[in-house]
Homo-oligomer: A and B are copies of this chain.
Amino acid sequence: METKPTEISISKMFGGYNKRYKHYSPTLGCSMNFHIFFPPSSSPSHKFPVLYWLSGLTCTDENFIAKSGAQRAASSEGVALIVPDTSPRGLNVEGESDSWDFGVGAGFYLNATQEKWKNWKMYDYVVKELPTLLHENFPELDTSRASIFGHSMGGHGALTIYLKNLDKYKSVSAFAPIANPINCPWGLKAFTNYLGENKADWEEYDATCLVSKYNNVSATILIDQGEDDKFLKDQLLPQKFEEACRKINVPLLLRLQPGYDHSYFFIATFIDDHVRHHAQALNL
């Protein structure tokens, strides 16, 4: 039950370091891994702002580190990347691994209210536990300067967490986010099981509903969406989010990228733009 993070791997990249840590999470009630990419440091006293990446369904803390190539821009811009896992693991809740879009690897960055899934508190883990843990254990990080982005389920996570915590994050962006989960099969399945039948509770974790409530967004929201993404029409629904933003004049840059799909190849292609979007907001 070691809550202090232990380094379990390290690998140099673009002059900085990918480091993987293991710790016991009191919020989730299990052991968790996360990655940090530390940019090269010019002086021991330098503090890096933090950019949280939230991954999509089935991912761990490893996919983004191995495939996105984000470390290149993070290194040149001087931003630390914080990459948590996507759900609690190893709890052996009955049925937790029965499907790839629910349970393990599919925490949806919310706080479950249903007894069976009571450990699924990824919202609190990302918004509360992780920043405190980083602040207490990594003096080279300035957690007061934070931004957040993600992909698919993690794009949903980034948008909702940002909108509910405008004081905590300087900027948000997303790749192919699940933008209106209460109206898509992935969201219906997850929200019914994690949150129960009361749809008013669901709206607290739906970016399209939330953006209508929080009209004090000032930083432009950046979203990239591949036009050949097979999940675009049924699951992602970025146009619903776009409509909601337009209605209340929330600044949104939604870029539809012809020919791109839902994969990390799409993410890698546009990751530099996203890292720079955040670096600018973080006053670098």
**A192 adjacent to chain B (CB < 8 Å):** no
Chain B neighbourhood of A18, CB < 8 A: 265
Q: Which of B12, B15, B263 contacts A11 (CB 8 A)?
A: B263
**A29 adjacent to chain B (CB < 8 Å):** no
> Which A212-269 residues sit within 8 Å CB-CB of chain B?
226, 228, 259-261, 263-266, 268-269
**A67 adjacent to chain B (CB < 8 Å):** yes
**A14 adjacent to chain B (CB < 8 Å):** yes
> Which A17-38 residues sit within 8 Å CB-CB of chain B?
18
Alpha-carbon distance between A13 and B257 when the two chains are bound, in angstroms: 11
Task: Please report A residues at the B interface, Cβ cutoff 8 Å.
Answer: 11-15, 18, 66-67, 69, 71-72, 226, 228, 259-261, 263-266, 268-269
The 3 closest A-B pairs by CB, nearest first: A13-B265, A69-B69, A12-B259
> What would be 9 A-B contacts, judged by CB atoms less than 8 Å apart?
A12-B226, A12-B228, A12-B266, A12-B269, A13-B269, A15-B269, A18-B265, A66-B264, A71-B268
